[in-house]
Amino acid sequence: MSATKPTAWRARRPELYPPRGPALWRRAALVPLGLGLFLWGLHALEVSPGQIYRGLGELGRVFMLMMPPAITEHVWQYLRAIGETLAMAFLGTLIASLLAVPLALMGARNVMPLGPVRLLVRRSSDVVRGIDSLVWAIFFVSVVGLGPFAGILAIAVNDTGVLTKLFAEAMENTDREQVKGVRATGAGRLQTIAFGIMPQALPVLLANSLYFLESNLRSATVLGVVGAGGIGFYLMDRMMISAWREVSLIVILVLVTVIGLDTLSRALRQRLIGSARG
């Protein structure tokens, strides 16, 4: 019971101690190796300390120029553009949700028995998802012209890909016993889906849609960069002409809108999940 008298444990139980000799060097060599790899990556990214130093100074200067935010006569324009942005996110998500339900049914293992159809739906949703909504926006601007309609279509298409995958997973995660129970009553295939799978999956689907409404509002704020409507156009434009005090006003408006919608959607989501559990 002597806690202070050191004993010769190292000789008897070397595995409880850090290695010595070559083994120690091998382990210690990992530190410069990792550091080297990290620095090599930074070099590949053309990062230099001078650039960081100068950039931080410049950033500080811009930040000072942003203060205080300027409330000009443009504010009504901005508010309308934010309304447009909200409309883009809302309609885009709504269309995507409506399209994703039948697609997800075709992609869910417990609904669609045909493997090739499932594979086709899943893989094409992967492809659609892999292309950012900003790229879709450029495409749709060239189809329907400048304006928020192109943004709506971009969000709708990109999100159809995302939501199809998520919805299909939600349907596959439904409780099999309940589905069996419905089938045992003599329900046909469509009835089993309608009364066995959908009631369980629906709250999850709605919660996912709401979550992506939040996420799409963030995407919608930048679609204006490529001419697809919304506040992004003004944000970019004011940055280009270095109207920093208006930039900060727009950023604040965006922050308030996004946080407001997040709060609303979180409350709705919690009610949905609550009703699904309760």
Partner 1 sequence: MLELRGLTRRFGDATAVDNLSLAVADGEMVAVLGRSGAGKSTLLNMINRLIDPSGGEILYGGRDIARLRGAELLAWRRQSAMIFQRFNLVGRLSVLTNVLTGRLNHPPRLPKLVGLFTDRERDIAIDALAALGMEDHALKRADQLSGGQQQRVAIARALVQEPRIMLADEPVASLDPVNAQAVMEALRRINRELGITVLCNLHSVPLAQAWCDRAIALSAGRLVYDGPVAGLDEPTLLGIYGSAAALSEAH
Partner 2 sequence: MHRTAPAGARAAFARAWAAQGRVRRRQWLVAAALLLVLVAAAAWLGEVDLVLLWDRLPRFGSYFGRMVPDLAWATLGEDLAHWYWKGWRWLAALWQTVLIAIYATIFGAVLAFGASFLAARNLTPAPWVGMVARRVLEVARTVPELVFAVLFVYAFGIGPLAGVLAIGLHTFGALGKLFGDAAENADPEPLRGLRATGAGWVQTMLYGATPQLAPDYLSYGLLRLEINVRAASILGFVGAGGIGQELYGAIKNFDHTDISAIALMLIGTVMLIDALCAWARGRVIGQDGLRAL
Provide the minimum distance between the beta carbon of 38 and partner 2 in the complex, in angstroms, as a whole number: 8
| Size of the chain in residues | 278
State whether the Cα torsion 69-71-74-76 is positive or negative.
positive
Stretch that binds partner 1, among 2-10, 46-54, 127-135, 221-229 (CB under 8 A): 2-10
Q: Which ranges of the chain does DSSP label H, i.e. alpha helix?
A: 9-12, 22-44, 49-66, 75-107, 115-130, 133-144, 148-172, 176-184, 189-192, 198-223, 232-240, 244-277
14 forms part of the interface with partner 2 (CB under 8 A): no
Stretch that binds partner 1, among 6-14, 59-67, 86-94, 123-131 (CB under 8 A): 6-14
Binding mask 7-46 for partner 1 (x = CB under 8 A): x-xx--x-xxxx----------------------------
**Exactly one of 87, 187, 198, 273 binds partner 2 (CB under 8 A); which one?**
87
Separation between Cα atoms, residue 10 and residue 3, nearest integer Å = 16
Binding mask 212-251 for partner 2 (x = CB under 8 A): ------xx-xx--xx--x--x--xx--x-----------x
Stretch that binds partner 1, among 4-12, 55-63, 205-213, 240-248 (CB under 8 A): 4-12
Separation between Cα atoms, residue 187 and residue 193, nearest integer Å = 9
Element (H, E) at 1: none
**Exactly one of 28, 29, 35, 56 binds partner 2 (CB under 8 A); which one?**
56
**Exactly one of 3, 45, 127, 143 binds partner 1 (CB under 8 A); which one?**
3
Separation between Cα atoms, residue 173 and residue 113, nearest integer Å = 16
Give whole-number Cα distances, 40 to 31, 35, 43, in Å.
14, 8, 5
Provide the minimum distance between the beta carbon of 39 and partner 1 in the complex, in angstroms, as a whole number: 20
The binder of 3, among partner 2, partner 1, none, by C-beta within 5 to 8 A per type, is: partner 1
Separation between Cα atoms, residue 123 and residue 128, nearest integer Å = 9
Residue of 103, 113, 237 whose CA lies nearest to 160:
103
Q: How many residues bind to partner 2 according to rule CB under 8 A?
A: 59
Give whole-number Cα distances, 43 to 32, 48, 80, in Å.
16, 7, 44
127 forms part of the interface with partner 2 (CB under 8 A): yes
Residues 144-183 that bind partner 2 (CB under 8 A): 144-145, 147-149, 151-153
Give whole-number Cα distances, 208 to 156, 159, 163, 218, in Å.
14, 11, 8, 16
Stretch that binds partner 2, among 22-30, 45-53, 181-189, 265-273 (CB under 8 A): 45-53
Provide the minimum distance between the beta carbon of 2 and partner 1 in the complex, in angstroms, as a whole number: 7
What does the angle CA 65 – CA 69 – CA 74 come to, to the nearest 5 degrees?
115
By the criterion CB under 8 A, which residues form the site for partner 1?
1-7, 9-10, 13, 15-18
